[in-house]
Structure 1
Amino acid sequence: MLADLVLLPVLLAAGLVLVWCARAAADGRLGRNQVAGIRTAATLASDEAWRAAHRRARPLSEGAGWVLAAAGPVLLLVPGDSLSAVVAGAAALIALGLTVAGAVVGSRAARATAPRG
């Protein structure tokens, strides 16, 4: 139970930060930087590429955040630390998969903005 009380705010906060970053980068409030967002050569090439990448990746990135945020309160509903670890681990793996998928589609969108030639 103590582990749940530690994991709940961590998962909730991490998830909400991820949702905020996804939204802020997609709508232009979070510009190119070296800390948050999809940081590849293609996405950092221009402001246009950055925005295109994050607009395309937004549903997946937000989904990752919501998975983490939802997992926190679920921990209070499951009995035992072992099952809590399974819930937290599953949420982390799902969020990781969504984040990687978002980075892939975002990078493709960023590359599509590059001038041809």
Structure 2
Amino acid sequence: MSTGFVFNVLGLLLVSVLSHYIGRRGRAGTLKMGRTPGIKTEATVASDEAWRVGHQAAAPWMLAAAGAGYVLVGVCIAYPIAAPSAGWPTGIVTAAVGAGSILVVLVVGVLGMVRANRAARAVG
């Protein structure tokens, strides 16, 4: 495995862990506004209530992004190990799996951010 691939997988894992943290704390209503990770848009930082409502709306999406990320980290690790013995192609396919995995997690996370922003705007 190349160094770039390892950093790709570590980045995917980091994004997944952050999405999980934001999703769990947001769903519980315990994610505090300030220096903690969170969805920081003009609408979500307008008030404590907008922050709470926005993160509760985004929580299912953030948890889905985290779950997908965890599964895809496993795929990214398992594929290059299993592929040669199974006769599957490696190289570009391994790179595509890594890049596609990050894309999936980011798209689902962005959908959560859109939900958070809409919910926070509805608060006022």
Deviation string for 1:70-90 (max 9, x for gaps)? 111112332323222111111
- Count of matched residue pairs: 114
Letter in 2 for 1:11: L
Deviation string for 1:45-77 (max 9, x for gaps)? 111111111111111111111222211111233
Where does residue 121 of structure 2 map in the other structure? 111
Where does residue 59 of structure 2 map in the other structure? 58
Q: Which runs of 5+ in 1 are unaligned?
A: none
Correspondence 1:48-87 to 2 at 5 A: 48-78=49-79, 79=83, 80-87=90-97
Q: Which runs of 5+ in 2 are unaligned?
A: 84-89
TM-score (norm 1): 0.81
RMSD over aligned CA atoms reads 2.0
75-84 or 98-107: bigger deviation = 75-84
Say whether 1:96 aligns with 2:106: yes
Identity percentage of aligned residues: 31
SS in 1 for 2:34: coil
Structure ranking higher in helix proportion: 2
Shift of 1:5: 5.2
SS in 2 for 1:45: coil
Structure 2 Cα separation of the partners of residues 24 and 111 of structure 1 = 20
Distance 1:67 1:27, change over 3 A: same
TM-score (norm 2): 0.77
